[in-house]
Structure 1
Amino acid sequence: MTPQRQIVSLLASAEFARAYTLAGLTAAFGSFLIERLTSPATLATIITVLALVGVATLIVRREELTPLRFAPTSLLGFLVLALVSLVWTTDRPGTLSGWATLAGYAIIAITIGHIRDTLQTVRAIGDTLRWLLALSLGLEILSGILLDLPFTAFGIDGNLALGGPIQGIFGTRNMLGFVAVVGLITFVIEWRTQSIDRVVGMLSVALGGFLALLSASPTVVVLAAGVGVATTALTIVRHTRPHRRVTVQWILGALVAVALALAFALRHVIIRLLDAGSDFSTRADLWNAILDVVAQQPMTGYGWFGPWPRAEYPFWFINLQLSDQHRSALNSYFDLLLQLGWPGLALFLILGGVATVRSWLVASVRRSVVYAWTPLLLVTLAVESMFESFTLTGIGWLLLVLCALRAGQTRSWRQNIDDAHTGTVPTLGPRG
């Protein structure tokens, strides 16, 4: 067999698909640790190599793919808009670099979405997070209890003996809390699908819950509440008779709208109950400053950057006003308004909203509980986006693209067109 055929055979193999998925997820979840131990250039090189290998893998597997279901239209539109912002940005190299990072993670997510099914993806994320969360706990124990010494190289302050907050290997307590919640969702789905045995399932859930608690992140409380409500609602829908599901869906939708309105009206009371006044007041001041700047260029924004560059307008100007050093808007939606204007925010909402509706409808009728992973994770990303900009960079962006791709593969207008061309009648019954 020639070397070329060996490479093609390797890229098309199931073993390589699993290895690539684990490598991509580890690089994305461990991006902060990679940067701190090496350099941003090393992380960029890893993501670039993974993206190029992903493109090669998709080319080798091109006969398994169809153009109509390759990627969500809203995702492609968002990437195009971010690239087009080169026209009006004040820092073209910075915007091009930010776009390349965005595209790199998207390519990795698209590759994983096409070479692994939902259960395989859930198992890969579960395996990755078990190791990374265990590593976080181990380093926190070593730093905060055994040595009583902060590990600055890992970004660990060593507060475990004080009851937190802890950061693990993820840089901040909010990121640790977010990753722990993603882990909890994944571990429970693994457990329910019997992908892992009972002991491993119990230990995994305990690990995720313990780290979420010790992160002392105020956003974890909101995330847990949002995921809990979504899980309850989805459980109700899944156990409702088929002819009543539409009515129940509308009732639940109305209840969600009322709950959001009440939450907004009682936001000050909720903040006091969460004992997170300083965190939320900081965010409120930041968002007000962003809105003032957005009013100057509401339709174009100031160009795509991702994390804020320190020396570019309007980012330095906002920080100067607040006497702070923010690297993001601490809110994905405000960050999009600032960088890509209202069109960018609209495309982002369409990408996430359509994916959530599609995956929710699939999970409500499919028997296997694995289909609940996608909508629950999308709810987590939507809620987290209100308090952090994680969904626009790194692992948050990768998970959003992966979930949107998964939802589009399962239920979309493109599937109906594709099935019509192949003579297949699309079905979506409860047996899945």
Structure 2
Amino acid sequence: MTDGRVTRRALARRYLSAWIGFSAGGRFSQALATVMLLFAFGQPTVHALVGTAGTWAVLVTLVVLAGLSLLGQRYRIEWHGVLPLSLLAFVGYCALSVLWSEYSWVALRGFVGTVCFVGLGLYLALGRDLVQVIRASGDAFRILLVVGLGLEVLSGLVLDVPIPAFGIHGDIAYGGPIQGIGETRNFMGFVAATALVTFVVEFLTRSVTMWRAVGSTALAVIALMLVQSPITGLAMIALAVTALALWSLRHAQARTRPVVNGVLAAFVVGVGIVGVLARHRILAEIGAAGGSAIRIDLWSQIRVFIGQFPIQGWGWVGTWPSEPVVPFAVFVDPSGARFTSGLNAFVDAWLQIGLAGMLILLLTALLAFARAWVTATTFPGVAYVWPAAILVLLGVTSTAESYLLHGAGLMIFTTVLVVAARRRSWRRLLPRNDHAG
């Protein structure tokens, strides 16, 4: 009997060791990275198909597979000074907020989801190099855009009926707006904008053929035109300015870069001031006045609850829970439906983890952008333009949505944060401790 148990344990260890070795292989790792991106950016559709329990099952499975893959690659991964202290502080503060939350079980579930998506982002940054991440992203976005546009054509042109389960209204015949795999036009716009950035950088790094790049870019542009999302439109303007600035800085001489960066900073501040002063006219011109009125009303309601726990917040949940817990159950839109987020990443974070947590998040984002920007403008590899552009997209989108705090937004933010830290972390200068204990 004892020999049988020993044999089974030995076989189990052998199979586990073989699986770890297989999961560390290049093809499996690349396929896993693509599936992660497909799941994260297609999460609304996945949830509609398999429900909450199924979504959690897929998420946990991906985290386990990522952990085994990293375990198999542990000897080749450079860990020294890679994990940013700002990210660790943010996750740690979210964990602490569970302790003082009045809805501990909901907060714990939300924190577990946050850790899972942060873990997926870490896998992309550590288990794959940047070019491989961009290639996996390109493959995932091609599938997402084809499926999203295909569902819209099926709904609006073939069947001529909406598909409520996916949030699709079937308005593609009228030029949009479309929802695709995003459930809302804003998230579909976020997917399409991220895809466009990825396809352009993918082409610049010569990771794909010209015809594939042209076809992929055309898909992304068509989706962007059909979503009719004002916030996505503003994000695309910001990306265009970012592209011009990066091109100028990458071709400028080293001694002139500080001057160019100073001019760019002054330009951004000036545009920001003009935007704030003329916000009502600008919003009316781009057709966002109605949505902005809803957001402003929601933020006014949120401020009342922020005032009750201004420093520590109510407790971290990430995506707002569907359960009737205060304060999240209180916020209802004009149609009577409950909001699923604070429609602004930093207002949302202030409500959940207070001023202290929001400032940690802001510091984390600013530090990540500074590192990514310096790397993108000084490092010769074109691939390093991608993290800086993604952070600009996340930053602009975060003013009207809370994608940064959960799901695909949090995962891709973690990835670019770690990629930027790998090149610019001050802890890389510290002496190594390589001797065996």
TM range (shorter): over 0.9
Does residue 1:279 correspond to 2:259, yes or no?
no
Which deviations, in whole Å up to 9, do the C-alpha atoms of 1:17-49 show, x marking residues without a partner?
112111211111111111101111111111112
Which residue of the partner structure matches residue 336 of structure 1?
A: 349
Task: Please say which of residues 55-64 and 109-118 is displaced more in the overlay.
Answer: 55-64
2: CA distance, partners of 1:294 / 1:89? 14
2: CA distance, partners of 1:322 / 1:315? 16
Does residue 1:327 correspond to 2:340, yes or no?
yes
Does residue 1:184 correspond to 2:196, yes or no?
yes
Which residue of the partner structure matches residue 8 of structure 2?
A: none
User: Alpha carbons of 1:339 and 1:243: their partners in 2 closer, same or farther (altered >3 Å)?
Assistant: same
CA contact (8 A) 2:82 2:428 kept: no
2: CA distance, partners of 1:175 / 1:8? 35
2: CA distance, partners of 1:214 / 1:320? 25
1: CA distance, partners of 2:52 / 2:275? 39
C-alpha deviation, 1:421, in angstroms:
6.6
Counterpart pick for 2:98 among 73, 76, 86 = 86
SS in 1 for 2:75: helix
Which residue of the partner structure matches residue 269 of structure 1?
A: 281
Counterpart pick for 1:71 among 80, 83, 98 = 83
Counterpart pick for 2:260 among 248, 252, 263 = 248
C-alpha deviation, 1:58, in angstroms:
2.3
User: Alpha carbons of 1:278 and 1:4: their partners in 2 closer, same or farther (altered >3 Å)?
Assistant: closer
Which residue of the partner structure matches residue 303 of structure 1?
A: 315
C-alpha deviation, 1:330, in angstroms:
0.5
- Under a length normalisation based on structure 1, what TM-score does the superposition of the two structures give? 0.94
Does residue 1:213 correspond to 2:222, yes or no?
no
Which deviations, in whole Å up to 9, do the C-alpha atoms of 1:128-154 show, x marking residues without a partner?
000110111111111101111222233
Which residue of the partner structure matches residue 130 of structure 2?
A: 118
Does residue 1:8 correspond to 2:29, yes or no?
no
Structure 1 vs Structure 2 CA RMSD = 1.8
Gaps of 5+ in 1: 423-432
Letter in 2 for 1:398: M
Does residue 1:167 correspond to 2:179, yes or no?
yes
CA contact (8 A) 1:303 1:340 kept: yes
Task: Please say which of residues 94-103 and 155-164 is displaced more in the overlay.
Answer: 155-164
Which residue of the partner structure matches residue 400 of structure 1?
A: 413
CA contact (8 A) 1:286 1:322 kept: no
SS in 2 for 1:62: coil
Does residue 1:108 correspond to 2:120, yes or no?
yes
Within a 5 Å distance, the mapping from 1:367-406 to structure 2 comes to: 367-406=380-419
Which residue of the partner structure matches residue 423 of structure 2?
A: 410
C-alpha deviation, 1:61, in angstroms:
2.3
2: CA distance, partners of 1:134 / 1:276? 28
Task: Please say which of residues 125-134 and 63-72 is displaced more in the overlay.
Answer: 63-72
Counterpart pick for 2:67 among 42, 50, 55 = 55
Counterpart pick for 1:193 among 205, 227, 241 = 205
Task: Please say which of residues 39-48 and 8-17 is displaced more in the overlay.
Answer: 8-17
CA contact (8 A) 1:174 1:219 kept: yes
Q: Percent of pairs identical after alignment? A: 32
Which residue of the partner structure matches residue 346 of structure 1?
A: 359
User: Alpha carbons of 1:321 and 1:85: their partners in 2 closer, same or farther (altered >3 Å)?
Assistant: farther
2: CA distance, partners of 1:10 / 1:297? 49
Which residue of the partner structure matches residue 41 of structure 1?
A: 53
1: CA distance, partners of 2:180 / 2:171? 10
SS in 2 for 1:275: coil
2: CA distance, partners of 1:128 / 1:273? 34
Which residue of the partner structure matches residue 7 of structure 2?
A: none
C-alpha deviation, 1:182, in angstroms:
0.3
2: CA distance, partners of 1:382 / 1:261? 17
User: Alpha carbons of 1:154 and 1:275: their partners in 2 closer, same or farther (altered >3 Å)?
Assistant: closer
Which residue of the partner structure matches residue 355 of structure 1?
A: 368
- Under a length normalisation based on structure 2, what TM-score does the superposition of the two structures give? 0.92
Letter in 2 for 1:213: M
SS in 2 for 1:308: coil
CA contact (8 A) 2:81 2:426 kept: no
SS in 2 for 1:69: coil
Letter in 2 for 1:127: D
C-alpha deviation, 1:377, in angstroms:
0.3
2: CA distance, partners of 1:197 / 1:340? 46
Which residue of the partner structure matches residue 425 of structure 1?
A: none
Which deviations, in whole Å up to 9, do the C-alpha atoms of 1:140-176 show, x marking residues without a partner?
1111011112222332211111111110011100000
Does residue 1:314 correspond to 2:319, yes or no?
no
Which residue of the partner structure matches residue 294 of structure 1?
A: 306
Task: Please say which of residues 102-111 and 7-16 is displaced more in the overlay.
Answer: 7-16
CA contact (8 A) 1:94 1:305 kept: yes
C-alpha deviation, 1:292, in angstroms:
2.0
CA contact (8 A) 2:82 2:425 kept: no
C-alpha deviation, 1:346, in angstroms:
1.1
Letter in 1 for 2:149: L
C-alpha deviation, 1:184, in angstroms:
0.5
C-alpha deviation, 1:66, in angstroms:
4.7
Which residue of the partner structure matches residue 251 of structure 2?
A: 239
Letter in 2 for 1:276: A
C-alpha deviation, 1:57, in angstroms:
2.4
Name the count of aligned residue pairs.
Answer: 421
Letter in 2 for 1:317: V
SS in 2 for 1:90: coil
The runs of at least 4 consecutive aligned structure 1 residues that moved more than 4 Å come to: 320-324
SS in 2 for 1:63: coil
